[in-house]
Structure 1
């Protein structure tokens, strides 16, 4: 088994676990960055289970695969149409909350991204 095969196998096992968590109600939305081949295999599994999904290209050898509740995917379609590292602080916060990331950590991340250096106060001011 090559390193690529091993990584694909590991990705698929992880994704199957995410499907299980979604079906049990633990997650409402899942995001995985995987190779296009894995995304095609996962899309087949998601279709067979009638789970909505969305695939967005990242690079030639990576895609973002979102799956979960249709309303969550509709929201993702409305504001995620650029690389994730280019999301605004508000978009990044929304996506993190939708994915179920730790809320206090998301709040700290948002505040850190929004902080601007305060202008220098002049003498006598």
Structure 2
């Protein structure tokens, strides 16, 4: 692709670049970013050039989930996220949220709610 990431000024890619910045500064250890497929190659190229480990998960015909961050986190994601995110068990959902740095108390509430509903 001849278009460079720096030449594209979409809001979507600006948010992506901010996630990379936060990861490199240590604010985040792992990021989950849902991106339009038309930007997938550019995003993956940027992650490769910056030696950031990542995993791409298709969402639908228009979007992909892009997990990126510390290698040990991405290694665990590759083992755990083997199906769409809405099909994760309550336990897997809890672990994923914790890995992404979500509020632990909110994750506990979400987990208990899902368990009480019997969702898996």
Q: How many residues align?
A: 110
State the TM-score, normalized to the length of structure 2: 0.87
Deviation >3 Å, runs of 4+: none
Q: Which has the higher Rg, Structure 1 or Structure 2? A: 1
Q: Please, which runs of 5 or more residues in structure 2 have no aligned partner?
A: 1-8
1:13 aligns with 2:21: no
Shifted more, 30-39 versus 10-19: the winner is 30-39
C-alpha displacement at 1:36, in angstroms?
A: 1.5
C-alpha displacement at 1:40, in angstroms?
A: 1.2
1:36 aligns with 2:40: no
Cα distance in structure 1, aligned partners of 2:38 and 2:71: 23
Q: What's the counterpart of residue 65 of structure 1? A: 66
Q: What's the counterpart of residue 90 of structure 1? A: 91
Q: What's the counterpart of residue 46 of structure 1? A: 47
Q: Please, which runs of 5 or more residues in structure 1 have no aligned partner?
A: 1-7, 118-125
C-alpha displacement at 1:47, in angstroms?
A: 1.1
